[in-house]
């Protein structure tokens, strides 16, 4: 049937008893063309909504949420202050939740959420999500700042110190409480990653005392060191003196 077949048609029937007619209108519509649906090609992960820094008080519920797309679906890895929390490769299709040490991670569609029902001082720190598939890798990070119920003070602050090259130095502070899991350490304003530089730094906590040990100090270790707990800070200056030359033969 063609478009020009459209029009008004009349049917007439006659016999000896008489005649009858019937009229109808025929409309011919153009055939709709079905364009093939374009297949979405594979693409590297994309962060459409990054993690956002969050502040809370001890005991409050806190959530960190990010939206990440990608094809094939990216694998995710969560870390806390440089230590791995969980990888999505450890999930099963039937169970997309993970719970350990009061931290719950939920995956739904492209939304990934970290939930802490009751925040503690030990939850204070940087959380990072790394998404990876065969075409690329992206990451987003944010800090959770947990405010203590009571002000934490440095009972024994840091003190300026001078040492010789290759010596070992241990800088320590004493806090007004032993509820703080870890003091954050900084050198010249930059956070010290003690996990990645275990051969250089060592941190220790004994009751209310916490310390940072520097192994085989060099002149490059000179600078301003800071111990921080929430908004409280203690600072000292480290000076490294080169050893005097000696006749070894």
Angle 7-12-18 from CA coordinates, rounded to 5°: 155
User: Is residue 120 assigned to a domain?
Assistant: yes
CATH number of residue 194's parent domain: 2.60.40.10
Higher pLDDT, 195 or 241: 241
Closest CA to 156 of 206, 192, 121: 206
Same domain, residue pair 163 and 236: yes
Query: What was the pLDDT predicted at 91?
Result: 43
Q: State which of 99, 122, 147 marks the end of a domain.
A: 147
121 in a structural domain: yes
Three-class SS state of 107 = strand
| Residue, of 248 and 22, whose pLDDT is higher | 248
pLDDT score of 90: 45
**Local structure of residue 236 (DSSP, 8 states):** E
| Torsion, Cα of 193, 199, 205, 211 (10° steps) | -80
pLDDT tens sequence across 197-232: 888 899 998 988 999 999 989 999 999 999 998 778
Residue ending a domain, among 147, 171, 193, is 147
Do strands 62-71 and 232-241 pair parallel, antiparallel, or not at all (unpaired)? unpaired
DSSP-derived secondary structure for 123-162? G-EEEEEEEEETTEEEEEEEEEEEE-SS---EEE----EE
Both 48 and 138 in one domain: the answer is yes
What pLDDT score was predicted for residue 102?
A: 74
Flag whether 48 is in a domain. yes
8 in any annotated domain = no
Per the structure, how many domains does the chain have? 2
Residue 58's contacts (CB-CB under 8 Å, 6 or more residues apart) are 119, 120, 121, 146, 147, 148, 149
pLDDT score of 6: 74
In a domain, 68, yes or no: yes
Cβ count within 10 A of residue 27: 8
Out of 132, 147, 162, pick the residue that ends a domain.
147
Residues 48 and 143 in one domain: yes
pLDDT band at 242 (very low <50, low <70, confident <90, very high): confident
Q: Taking the alpha carbons of 191, 205, 175, 103 in that order, is the dihedral positive or negative?
A: positive
Statement to judge: residues 130 and 48 lie in one domain: yes
Q: What is the pLDDT of residue 98?
A: 42
Residue 247 predicted with pLDDT over 50? yes
Sequence-separated (6 or more) residues with CB below 8 Å from residue 209: 156, 172, 173, 174, 175
Within a domain: 140: yes
Q: Are residues 124 and 178 in the same domain?
A: no
Checking DSSP bridges between strand 232-241 and strand 161-164, what pairing results, if any? parallel
For the chain, what percent of residues have pLDDT higher than 70? 78
- Confidence band (pLDDT; 50, 70, 90) for 122? confident
129 in a structural domain = yes
Residues 236 and 189 in one domain: yes
218 belongs to a structural domain = yes
Q: Which domain holds residue 160?
A: 154-241
Quick: pLDDT tens for 143-201.
998 886 667 789 999 999 999 988 999 999 999 888 776 788 999 999 898 877 888 89
Q: In this predicted structure, what is the pLDDT of residue 40?
A: 78
Q: Which pLDDT score, from 0 to 100, does residue 2 have?
A: 72
Q: Is the same domain home to 140 and 185?
A: no
pLDDT in tens, 51-104: 999 998 888 899 999 999 999 999 999 998 888 886 554 443 333 444 455 788
């Amino acid at each position: 049937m063609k478009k020009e077949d459209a029009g008004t048609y009349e049917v007439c029937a006659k016999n000896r008893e008489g005649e009858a007619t019937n009229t109808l209108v025929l409309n011919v519509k153009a055939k709709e063309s079905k364009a093939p649906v374009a297949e979405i090609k594979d693409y590297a992960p994309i962060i459409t909504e990054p993690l956002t820094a969050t502040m809370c008080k001890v005991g409050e519920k806190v959530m960190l949420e990010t939206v990440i797309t990608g094809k094939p679906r990216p694998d995710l890895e969560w870390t806390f202050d440089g230590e791995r929390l969980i990888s999505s490769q450890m999930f099963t299709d039937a169970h997309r939740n993970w719970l350990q040490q009061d931290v719950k991670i939920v995956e739904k569609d492209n939304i990934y959420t970290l939930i802490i029902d009751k925040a503690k001082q030990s939850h204070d720190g940087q959380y990072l999500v790394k998404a990876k598939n065969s075409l690329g890798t992206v990451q987003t990070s944010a800090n959770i700042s947990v405010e203590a119920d009571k002000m934490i003070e440095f009972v024994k602050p840091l003190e300026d110190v001078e040492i010789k090259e290759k010596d070992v130095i241990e800088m320590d502070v004493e806090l007004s409480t032993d509820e703080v899991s870890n003091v954050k350490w900084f050198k010249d304003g930059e956070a010290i990653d003690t996990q990645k530089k275990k051969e250089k730094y060592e941190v220790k906590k004994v009751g209310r005392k916490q310390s940072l040990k520097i192994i085989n100090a060099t002149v490059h270790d000179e600078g301003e060191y800071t111990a921080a707990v929430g908004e409280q800070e203690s600072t000292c200056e480290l000076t490294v003196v080169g050893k005097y030359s000696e006749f070894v033969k």
